[in-house]
């Protein structure tokens, strides 16, 4: 029964054992047999191939997908796990069971890493009649288009004939419990076990996320006289604060009182009258001040407005006040119909620019006041303008938003931080943290802005960190201090040899700030450095960068 070699080892093992030890061994073996039998019984009978695909921006979907794949492995099932950007699209029609986990970002868009997969579904006709699938959609009900990317993918898969294993599951900010319940139900279906009594609501009934009530302790404009910019360093004090230096905070701004008053006056509505928003009774004035988005309305809202006032309005984004002036509602009753189609004010995120190790009970942010021209008139972005108006001593509500991808690595790792403008904010937090935890890893900052004299954000702090050695190296690019424009990517290319060395020695690369064009130009520069210094082809350089990205060694927090 036993192979010769195994029999020999067994004899060698039992030789010389006392009777007591032999009896114990006998019991031990019996136990092994029993537990292996029960394991065999619990291995489910799924013959089909399972694939888990995730599309993530800040890491939550990846965390869930990885945990689910591990859980499947534990019960004896294997699943292919892939990020949507690494997935071979031609495999889709060959899949048998597909579990999709995807979040929504921007204004109802898929994460950047999911765009290719998402577009593939939108732009092609596929036959997926052999596929069984389910979609877990991560989102946040604070945003108008809740879980839109997940919804779109669910509609497409079903439209291509795929059979739903479980209805689309949408999860709110506190997603963990409902995501796990969705997964348990899927496993039960796959293993043909009768469902235990888990009833999933289609939208998770999450706990409310923790909202802090803070106090603005200090607000300073970091730009000097004569700058074209205003960037506010804002220090907020709050009790029981908890965050990491790589987190950001979310703020839901209020609308300017003057605009709300104009809307009320022009429409003749009674601001004190109450309406119901999300089952909550609230006065019209309060809803316009604190809850409803009245700026840059989405085209879909403008269309609904046009239908209510029964007028032809071009399908372009507009502010509510402008719409009211040009296409006035008939009366206050009609305006109340309009109120119902308005969407909530979306939160805005700001990178945390402090470390708790340096500022107990405080969180700092770095806010650029957003300016733009509309019909030759200077206008300001809602939230950055709201923040720039705050008086010291006033209170402010915020929540902490985690990014599981953009993470300061352990203290011994080298970091390269590329953060022009407000992109420098998280790096102030990184360096404060490293200064207070005695990190041994090297750190290199690339900063840039328009002018050295007026726009060098946190200049003296960086110089102090350079002097103390907490910051190993800093290169700055002030674009408008000379004839030709010089940006951070030019400084990176100038230091290509050293930058390549740092990369080869395991440095982590962080990019923060403007998505377009900064982060694109920085990526082009990185690829060029890999090609020239590493003698790689364009394709090899891209693969190398993809690999860094998969290992979270090349991460972006761009907006």
Ligand X SMILES: Cc1cc2nc3c(=O)[nH]c(=O)nc-3n(C[C@H](O)[C@H](O)[C@H](O)COP(=O)(O)O)c2cc1C
Ligand Y SMILES: Cc1cc2nc3c(=O)[nH]c(=O)nc-3n(C[C@H](O)[C@H](O)[C@H](O)COP(=O)(O)OP(=O)(O)OC[C@H]3O[C@@H](n4cnc5c(N)ncnc54)[C@H](O)[C@@H]3O)c2cc1C
User: Residue numbers of the site for ligand Y (CB under 6 A)?
Assistant: 248, 295-296, 319, 348-351, 366-368, 370, 372, 374, 381-385, 422, 425, 557, 559
Q: Taking the complex as a whole, how short is the minimal distance between the CB of residue 38 and ligand Y, in angstroms?
A: 48
d(CA 214, CA 146): 27
Q: Taking the complex as a whole, how short is the minimal distance between the CB of residue 477 and ligand Y, in angstroms?
A: 19
Q: Taking the complex as a whole, how short is the minimal distance between the CB of residue 364 and ligand Y, in angstroms?
A: 10
Q: Between 147 and 439, name the residue whose CB sits nearer to ligand X.
A: 147
Q: Between 295 and 398, name the residue whose CB sits nearer to ligand Y.
A: 295
Residue 107 binds which of ligand Y, ligand X, none (CB < 5-8 A, kind-dependent): ligand X
- Give the residue nearest to ligand X (CB): 139
CA angle 254, 260, 264 (to 5 degrees): 150
Q: Between 250 and 329, name the residue whose CB sits nearer to ligand Y.
A: 250
Residue 140 binds which of ligand X, ligand Y, none (CB < 5-8 A, kind-dependent): ligand X
Count of positions (residues) in the chain = 559
Burial classification of residue 459, based on how many CB atoms lie within 10 Å of its CB (0-12 exposed, 13-18 middle, 19 or more buried): middle
Q: Between 402 and 451, name the residue whose CB sits nearer to ligand X.
A: 402
Q: Taking the complex as a whole, how short is the minimal distance between the CB of residue 50 and ligand Y, in angstroms?
A: 33
Q: Which residue has the tokens 């082809």?
A: 537
Lookup: tokens for 230: 């205003």
Burial classification of residue 236, based on how many CB atoms lie within 10 Å of its CB (0-12 exposed, 13-18 middle, 19 or more buried): buried
Where does 319-370 show beta strands of DSSP type E?
Answer: 348-351, 362-368
Residue 233 binds which of ligand X, ligand Y, none (CB < 5-8 A, kind-dependent): none
Q: Between 114 and 507, name the residue whose CB sits nearer to ligand X.
A: 114
Listed in sequence order, the residues at least 6 apart from 357 whose beta carbon sits closer than 8 Å to its beta carbon are 432, 433, 436, 437
Strand, helix or coil at 423? Answer: helix
Q: Between 69 and 368, name the residue whose CB sits nearer to ligand Y.
A: 368
Backbone angles phi, psi at 292, to 5 degrees: -100, 135
User: What are the residues binding ligand X (CB under 6 A)?
Assistant: 56-61, 103-108, 111, 138-140, 143, 145-148, 175, 349
Q: If you ran DSSP here, which 8-state letter would residue 102 be given? A: E
Q: Between 461 and 498, name the residue whose CB sits nearer to ligand Y.
A: 461
DSSP element (H, E) containing 460: helix 459-468
Q: Taking the complex as a whole, how short is the minimal distance between the CB of residue 151 and ligand X, in angstroms?
A: 9
d(CA 145, CA 297): 13
Residue 108 binds which of ligand X, ligand Y, none (CB < 5-8 A, kind-dependent): ligand X
Contact 488, 446 (CB under 8 A): yes
Residue 104 binds which of ligand X, ligand Y, none (CB < 5-8 A, kind-dependent): ligand X
Residue 367 binds which of ligand Y, ligand X, none (CB < 5-8 A, kind-dependent): ligand Y
Q: Taking the complex as a whole, how short is the minimal distance between the CB of residue 81 and ligand Y, in angstroms?
A: 26
Q: Between 230 and 531, name the residue whose CB sits nearer to ligand Y.
A: 230
User: For the packed helices 496-504 and 520-534, what is the interaxial angle rounded to 10 degrees?
Assistant: 80
Q: Taking the complex as a whole, how short is the minimal distance between the CB of residue 104 and ligand X, in angstroms?
A: 4
Listed in sequence order, the residues at least 6 apart from 96 whose beta carbon sits closer than 8 Å to its beta carbon are 48, 49, 50, 130, 131, 132
Q: Cα dihedral sign for 200, 201, 203, 204?
A: negative
Q: If you ran DSSP here, which 8-state letter would residue 2 be given? A: -
Q: Taking the complex as a whole, how short is the minimal distance between the CB of residue 326 and ligand Y, in angstroms?
A: 13
Residue 462 binds which of ligand X, ligand Y, none (CB < 5-8 A, kind-dependent): none
Q: Taking the complex as a whole, how short is the minimal distance between the CB of residue 79 and ligand Y, in angstroms?
A: 30
Q: Between 63 and 364, name the residue whose CB sits nearer to ligand X.
A: 63
Residue 138 binds which of ligand X, ligand Y, none (CB < 5-8 A, kind-dependent): ligand X
Lookup: tokens for 422: 């407000």
Burial classification of residue 420, based on how many CB atoms lie within 10 Å of its CB (0-12 exposed, 13-18 middle, 19 or more buried): buried
- Cα-atom radius of gyration of the chain, to the nearest Å? 28
Residue 183 binds which of ligand Y, ligand X, none (CB < 5-8 A, kind-dependent): none
């Amino acid at each position: 029964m036993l192979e010769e070699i195994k029999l020999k080892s067994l004899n060698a093992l039992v030789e010389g054992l006392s009777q007591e030890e032999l009896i114990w061994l006998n019991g031990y073996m019996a136990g092994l047999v029993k537990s292996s039998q029960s394991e065999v019984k619990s291995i489910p009978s799924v013959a089909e191939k399972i694939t888990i695909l995730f599309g993530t921006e800040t890491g939550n979907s990846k965390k869930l997908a990885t945990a689910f794949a591990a859980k499947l492995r534990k019960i004896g099932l294997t699943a292919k796990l892939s990020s949507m950007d690494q997935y071979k699209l031609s495999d889709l029609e060959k899949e048998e069971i597909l579990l999709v986990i995807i979040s929504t970002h921007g204004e109802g868009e898929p994460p950047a890493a999911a765009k290719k997969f998402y577009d593939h579904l939108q732009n092609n006709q596929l036959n997926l009649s052999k596929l069984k699938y389910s979609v877990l959609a991560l989102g946040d009900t604070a945003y108008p288009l809740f879980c839109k990317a997940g919804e779109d993918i669910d509609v497409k898969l079903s439209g291509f004939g795929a059979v739903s294993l479980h209805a689309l599951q949408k999860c709110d900010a506190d997603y963990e419990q409902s995501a796990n319940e969705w997964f348990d139900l899927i496993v039960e279906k796959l293993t043909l076990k009768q469902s235990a009594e888990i009833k999933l609501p289609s939208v998770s009934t999450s706990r409310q996320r923790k909202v802090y009530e803070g106090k603005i302790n200090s607000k300073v404009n970091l730009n000097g006289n004569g700058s074209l910019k205003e960037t506010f360093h804002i220090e907020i004090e709050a009790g029981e604060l908890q965050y990491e230096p790589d987190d950001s905070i979310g703020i839901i701004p209020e609308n300017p009182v003057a605009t709300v008053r104009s809307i009320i006056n022009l429409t003749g509505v009674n601001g004190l009258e109450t309406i119901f928003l999300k089952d909550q009774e609230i006065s019209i004035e309060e809803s316009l001040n604190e809850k409803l988005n009245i700026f840059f309305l989405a085209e879909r809202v403008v269309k609904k407005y046009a239908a209510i006032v029964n007028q032809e309005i071009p399908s372009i984004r507009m502010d509510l006040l402008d719409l009211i002036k040009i296409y006035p509602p008939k009366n206050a009753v009609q305006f109340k119909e309009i109120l119902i189609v308005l969407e909530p004010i979306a939160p805005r995120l700001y990178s945390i620019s402090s470390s708790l190790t340096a500022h107990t009970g405080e969180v700092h942010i770095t806010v650029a006041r957003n300016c733009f021209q509309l019909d030759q008139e200077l206008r300001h972005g809602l939230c950055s303008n709201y923040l720039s108006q705050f008086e010291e001593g006033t209170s402010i509500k915020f929540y902490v938003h985690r990014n599981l991808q953009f993470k300061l690595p352990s203290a011994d790792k080298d970091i390269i931080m590329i953060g022009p403008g407000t992109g420098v904010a998280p790096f102030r937090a990184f360096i404060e943290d490293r200064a207070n935890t005695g990190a041994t890893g090297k750190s290199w900052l690339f900063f840039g802005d328009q002018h050295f004299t007026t726009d060098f954000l946190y200049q003296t702090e960086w110089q102090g960190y350079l002097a103390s050695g907490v910051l190993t190296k800093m290169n700055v690019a002030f674009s408008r201090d000379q004839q030709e424009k010089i940006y951070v990517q030019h400084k990176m290319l100038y230091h290509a040899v050293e930058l390549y060395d740092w990369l080869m020695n395991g440095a982590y690369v962080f990019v923060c700030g403007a998505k377009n064009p900064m982060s694109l130009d920085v990526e082009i520069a990185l690829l060029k450095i890999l090609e020239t210094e590493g003698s790689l082809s364009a394709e090899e350089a891209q693969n190398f960068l993809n690999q860094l990205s998969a290992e979270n060694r090349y991460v972006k927090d761009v907006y």
